[in-house]
Amino acid sequence: MIEISELRRIYRMGDVEVKALDGVTIDIIKGEFLGIMGASGSGKTTLLHLLGLLDDPTTGRIVIEGTDLCNLTDYEKTMFRLYKFGYVFQDYALVPDLTVMENVSLPAMLRKDRDDQKILDDSHDILKKIGLFDRRDHLPRELSGGQQQRVSIARAMVNKPDILFADEPCANLDSENSRMVLDLFREINEEMKQTIVMVSHEPWHQEYFHRIVKLGDGKVISDEINGHGK
């Protein structure tokens, strides 16, 4: 589904060069729940940002279903982000002055091919799925961290993206809320056949992943099917 070859991202700060990613080659397979793991500073976020078109590689190629992402114009990249990708961040990134329902419908409203009824129906459906339909008129701050993260997952899912990217989505949650979030990812992966790429450095999250790519110093140090997962 996504072929990533020899991806490099070098940050230059004055005379200092940081090789955040140093030649990463992996394929992402449709329908898998892939975990990107590794120590802090190993390049996980950099890789996720490159895959999600939130940053450009220094060199290397990313090909999604035949389209080379490096050849896209800025406008085409924006369309890709909006129509094909969903994002979940560590700090939820909900809009504080919008209700749960408004936050969830936002990506659907940005698209030109959704009428009001479709946006309402899709938003309601996904809010029911995450178990927060009855909280739809609340503001984010009136919810717990775990609930806010589930709202951000609903927002990422409302456009039924080809790929869902999540960067340490449980980093600010206790283990009980982390489990709820991971169980929700598992459910949408299994029931909605959603491809998920999730970054984590918590060893116990491994049990949720079908496959684990471990990074170290910007390189892939292992890429293994998870015998214990699923």
**Which spans of this chain sit near ligand ADP (rule: CB under 6 A)?**
11, 13, 18, 20, 38, 40-46
Q: How far is the CB of 132 from ligand ADP (least distance, A)?
A: 28
Pick one of Mg ion, ligand ADP, none as the site partner of residue 195 (Cβ within 5 to 8 A by kind): none
Residues in the chain: 230
User: CA–CA separation, 223 vs 119, rounded Å?
Assistant: 39
Nearer to Mg ion, 44 or 150 (CB): 44
Q: φ, ψ for residue 88 (rounded to 5)? A: -130, 125
Q: Is 225 helix (H, G, I), strand (E, B) or coil?
A: strand
Q: How far is the CB of 120 from ligand ADP (least distance, A)?
A: 37
CA distances from 97 to 101, 103, 137, 138, 218 (A): 12, 9, 11, 10, 38
User: CA–CA separation, 58 vs 81, rounded Å?
Assistant: 20
Nearer to Mg ion, 9 or 44 (CB): 44
Nearer to ligand ADP, 43 or 107 (CB): 43
Binding of Mg ion by 45 (CB under 5 A): yes
Q: How far is the CB of 209 from ligand ADP (least distance, A)?
A: 16
User: CA–CA separation, 59 vs 21, rounded Å?
Assistant: 10
Nearer to Mg ion, 100 or 173 (CB): 173
Which residues of this chain interact with Mg ion, rule CB under 5 A? 44-45
